[in-house]
Structure 1
């Protein structure tokens, strides 16, 4: 006689799910949707493209969040019915289906729980990512381009708009650097755990000796902040260089000097922009990113000073946080969380949620307090 009892497991999921619903506040989300729909219906909204994109993105995110939470709640109700039917019909196939749904719901609830951990000061903002090649020659620049494609594919999987702001191509393979903006609520909170040094180990496709090559790339993630305008940058502190945008192989894609490079002389920070049509637009975009980086630098310096006074300095900048092995065992492993995947191809194709969720949990671990 079949006696399938999943009541304890289902109740544990319900308890966690109820806590998540309270934090997410679906009623508040519905109110947001109503307000945003009214804004989106305003015929004058698209007169400001940037604001229109923010409104539509926030509306899409709120609707998706409501659908996700309500969907999990409905599935929990359905699971209890599945268990009752399996027992009533003494159907082992139905029982197996119920067990599989329990496991799937465990993952869904866990993913929702991770989202409740995004409570940092800037977590809800869009993100600007910069990838720079490091040591390793052609392998490093190729690796930098692989990482860029990985994050763009991740954004595509989630339906997040991406705007490439700057690209510097290498003379050989790949890119020296790339900067792009991912516009989605909580993009910064989610992607900030990706910041750090990434390492690639593989048999180099650029060498003739079939030797293993190790190369590095750095990933920087900053929030898009309106508050950046609070940073006052004197004109005398900035050097402005203009040049022509270029594509792979140095082929000119612009016939005017529309690209802009800003150098903040006191700190040495450099920001380049070339994706806009005019020099004025590129300068404005570059200034916004420079202001953001300066504001973050100020906050980092303040935090570092506080740690110094407290005697708790942690020198962690530049430490590699993830390794990608494309030879032998074929593995991608995060060195902070221990999360690993044995299929690098899927990771490079944008399947990053497992690493990101593990990173968010790692960041909130009790030892950080």
Structure 2
């Protein structure tokens, strides 16, 4: 057993060194010191948005650094403890060190996935839009289930979120919703969730209790930053205002504060109704529109590259099935990741699916590389 322990310990040491190299720990420490100095400036909060971005980045880097340093310390400690336990023939402590090593391996595997997020926009915050697709009222209900799943996932990780817009369906559920996940690398992490999700269950809306298949679409966009230069001329935007509405179409606002924004050249339409004022809703809608246009630009560039390489996209659209009847299973159609604990998944326990999706994407990129 000691030989196995040593092999696993060496393997984890090598992986952690690789992670430290990818994360550039010394550069990270320097950036943290610089951000801490900026955060101490007395006029920091004069620009609230910039201050929030700075403190969010600082908090994220400090968390990353703390995780790596704690892992390094735990690896050193467990190696020493195991060696002493072996020398003294202390079987209880030996067993304890083996459990600790297994725990360390889980955390290192999770952190290794984070190092795979090195795409152009992967470090950005995310804008997530969920839309009901085929399946009528069941699809609208499923869209709301997915929205809750992602918001619970964010809550479990203590990631701040902000809901920009919810369009409720007449009978139950939602037609669409857009919300932000405000943490660095949210886009790189959640972008593997993009695509069509499929639900199979006995419909609670069918009085004959028949099985129903319904679909909902998930779109994930990177939040636009000032460096992206997504400038939209005023004459290319049409803005309509209306009253916010709640479930069942009821009005929840007595003033025309909700905003619908149309980008005339592309026909892209976004709306925001969850802020208190029309000005705030307009600003939020503009951020979503800029994110959509950024992705359009990115897709145009990718199409040009694919044309040069003479190949199309390798991404399939339908990416995950949630089966609640006649058996219980959630299965990712790309990675083969699956679980029978459907209740846990729909309550936000989706890390295993996200991590396998990130690894799968990296494999696809390696295969597609020239």
TM range (shorter): over 0.9
Q: How has the CA–CA distance of structure 1 residues 316 and 16 changed in structure 2, closer, same or farther, with 3 Å as cutoff?
A: closer
**Structure 2 counterpart of 1:320:** 318
**Structure 2 counterpart of 1:213:** 212
Give 3-state SS (helix, strand or coil) of 1:271's partner.
strand
Post-superposition shift, 1:315? 6.8
Which deviates more, 141-150 or 303-312? 303-312
Deviation digits for residues 144-196 of structure 1 (CA, Å, limit 9, x no counterpart): 11111111111111111111111101111111111011111111111111111
Matches within 5 A, 1:240-319: 240-314=239-313, 316=315, 319=317
Which deviates more, 169-178 or 4-13? 4-13
Unaligned runs of 5+ in 2: none
**Structure 1 counterpart of 2:160:** 161
Give 3-state SS (helix, strand or coil) of 2:348's partner.
coil
Deviation digits for residues 110-141 of structure 1 (CA, Å, limit 9, x no counterpart): 11111111111111111100000111111111
**Structure 1 counterpart of 2:177:** 178
Q: Tell whether 2:220 aligns with 1:226.
A: no
**Structure 2 counterpart of 1:353:** 351
Q: Is the 8 A contact 2:162 2:180 kept in 1?
A: yes
Q: Is the 8 A contact 1:331 1:343 kept in 2?
A: yes
Which deviates more, 296-305 or 87-96? 87-96
Post-superposition shift, 1:229? 6.5
Deviation digits for residues 61-119 of structure 1 (CA, Å, limit 9, x no counterpart): 11111111011111111221232233234333333322222222222111111111111
Deviation digits for residues 20-60 of structure 1 (CA, Å, limit 9, x no counterpart): 11111222222222222222223322232222221221121
**Structure 2 counterpart of 1:52:** 51
Q: How has the CA–CA distance of structure 1 residues 309 and 30 changed in structure 2, closer, same or farther, with 3 Å as cutoff?
A: closer
Supply the distance in 2 between the matched residues of 1:322 and 1:169 (Cα, whole angstroms). Answer: 24
Q: How has the CA–CA distance of structure 1 residues 228 and 217 changed in structure 2, closer, same or farther, with 3 Å as cutoff?
A: farther
Supply the distance in 1 between the matched residues of 2:162 and 2:43 (Cα, whole angstroms). Answer: 24
Q: How has the CA–CA distance of structure 1 residues 336 and 41 changed in structure 2, closer, same or farther, with 3 Å as cutoff?
A: same
Post-superposition shift, 1:260? 0.8
**Structure 2 counterpart of 1:363:** 361
Post-superposition shift, 1:207? 1.0
Q: Is the 8 A contact 1:246 1:254 kept in 2?
A: yes
Q: Is the 8 A contact 1:228 1:292 kept in 2?
A: no
Q: How has the CA–CA distance of structure 1 residues 93 and 226 changed in structure 2, closer, same or farther, with 3 Å as cutoff?
A: same
Q: How has the CA–CA distance of structure 1 residues 339 and 3 changed in structure 2, closer, same or farther, with 3 Å as cutoff?
A: closer
Supply the distance in 2 between the matched residues of 1:65 and 1:233 (Cα, whole angstroms). Answer: 36
Give 3-state SS (helix, strand or coil) of 1:35's partner.
helix
Deviation digits for residues 254-313 of structure 1 (CA, Å, limit 9, x no counterpart): 221111101122222110011222222222221222122112212212321332243212
Supply the distance in 2 between the matched residues of 1:96 and 1:201 (Cα, whole angstroms). Answer: 44
- State the superposition RMSD in angstroms: 1.9
Unaligned runs of 5+ in 1: none
Q: How has the CA–CA distance of structure 1 residues 28 and 232 changed in structure 2, closer, same or farther, with 3 Å as cutoff?
A: closer
Q: How has the CA–CA distance of structure 1 residues 207 and 77 changed in structure 2, closer, same or farther, with 3 Å as cutoff?
A: same
Supply the distance in 1 between the matched residues of 2:76 and 2:243 (Cα, whole angstroms). Answer: 60
Supply the distance in 2 between the matched residues of 1:27 and 1:316 (Cα, whole angstroms). Answer: 36
Q: Is the 8 A contact 2:224 2:294 kept in 1?
A: no
After TM superposition, the score normalised by the length of structure 2 is 0.93
Post-superposition shift, 1:220? 0.5
Q: Is the 8 A contact 2:321 2:333 kept in 1?
A: yes
Q: Tell whether 2:331 aligns with 1:330.
A: no
Which deviates more, 175-184 or 96-105? 96-105
**Structure 1 counterpart of 2:197:** 198
Supply the distance in 1 between the matched residues of 2:226 and 2:192 (Cα, whole angstroms). Answer: 22
Q: How has the CA–CA distance of structure 1 residues 325 and 10 changed in structure 2, closer, same or farther, with 3 Å as cutoff?
A: same
> How many residues end up aligned between the 2 structures?
367
After TM superposition, the score normalised by the length of structure 1 is 0.94
Supply the distance in 1 between the matched residues of 2:192 and 2:5 (Cα, whole angstroms). Answer: 35
